[in-house]
Structure 1
């Protein structure tokens, strides 16, 4: 019963917050939900499958452009939203077959290169709007209901987050989930135990891409405009930092890490846009703070915030009172 308390608290908070927010605060809340969607998939990929990706924003972009292009050319918006995660997952399977043969930093740099190549191609593609961007993306409409304001998109995003968390939790608790945990510990040992290493790695890579694609599709309908500059390399780095800070291998870590980093980004943007600050100040501050934050987390919280808090609570509840003998009831 106690394990459900955090989930209930988060659910109540996400339902109660949107009407209390307005303007830029509601926009930040929506962007936070989109970041959680991407980070949940990245946490599965890095924390459970042990694979590093520095190009997760590329799947975010693919989902956004898929939804935008389909609907700009007249298809129903709900089909565009459904196609966004599907196309992202298919793309991940296509590129994942050769990329996932790599390991460690080689895989990380390969996914980073994938994003750079994708952004370069999109910027030169007139059919995708080129460097100017894709304009005229309609608002999302489902069953005659049009998501016309920020409040409706806030509930849509966090409903998608809830579904994503449920799917991810079911996967982690299943037999394939146990195989993924074995895979993260040692691929050799997992393969010796009968885990289909290659298939599992590719599947979780595609699943993480589908989560990012779903976020990208919602993002496209929310803004109504997409450009290559909307998906910079820094965005992929942000997602990695969110996953690491919150705690790899824990789904709650994606929520905690995304919240911490999004709020930090808002503070840095406010600081970087103060009078007298150069135009490049927000980017420089972001890179510097991310680097420092990663170093601090690795040193003091090597497993992330959520595992550290959970371990502290476990130790606190398992410590016997003074004078008590472990294994005997306390008088």
Structure 2
């Protein structure tokens, strides 16, 4: 009788011990708890284990958060862009504590997507590689670009007229702005009798009061107030007297250019004469080419140039 009563008690005791053993927490130092987390932190301290964005030249922190570093032999850390290696190193020294965090600072001189990868090696446990992405963009400049003054193609323009002529000059064709700013045109000082500016055109009506040499300073200015000036010299003669030869002002090619490597080119010029203009033409390689008058400009297409 005694043996039969002891046996059930023994079985129950074994079952209770087994239940308590199953509920015991896992040892934190168990090698199976070994792991590595890859972190990225940009210059604004935005942190992610997937991807971040930063600008050219800014320092980026690459972090390795290691749990149970004593079980890790080494970690290969690499950075690639379009399949090309930018950075590659092997980490073999770790802290002896329960956890260790290693930070590496890197920066990039060009834009684009960079892939950061880690491959851990261990003789004790099997570890999984990890990767994260970095997108590098251009810096957003807070500095305003330099503003440049407008520029006339000519510093002095000579025009011959008689005392009954009406003269119009398209100022916008003679002046440009490097920043493509809208330009304002004005006459400096006291205007001549009969001259004004209308819609970027200088308009002048000659008369007996303006016979002789008249100098007009024209001003081009951009919205910031930067300016450039050109002297317009109007030589007025009495009607019927032709004492001045024709005046020609080349607009294109630019006055500072010396070599133009093209097969065909259009020469743009302004022509004036006190007694009127009969014709404008060019002679090239023995061939005469007449000019076409368009918007006050004489234009001649030269062909057959040798490149």
Which structure has the greater CA radius of gyration?
Answer: 2
Q: Give the TM-score normalised by the residue count of structure 1.
A: 0.19
More strand by share: 2
Give the number of the structure whose residues are more often helix, by fraction: 1
Q: Relative contact order (alpha carbons < 8 A, sep ≥ 6): 1 or 2 greater? A: 1
Normalising by structure 2, report the TM-score: 0.20
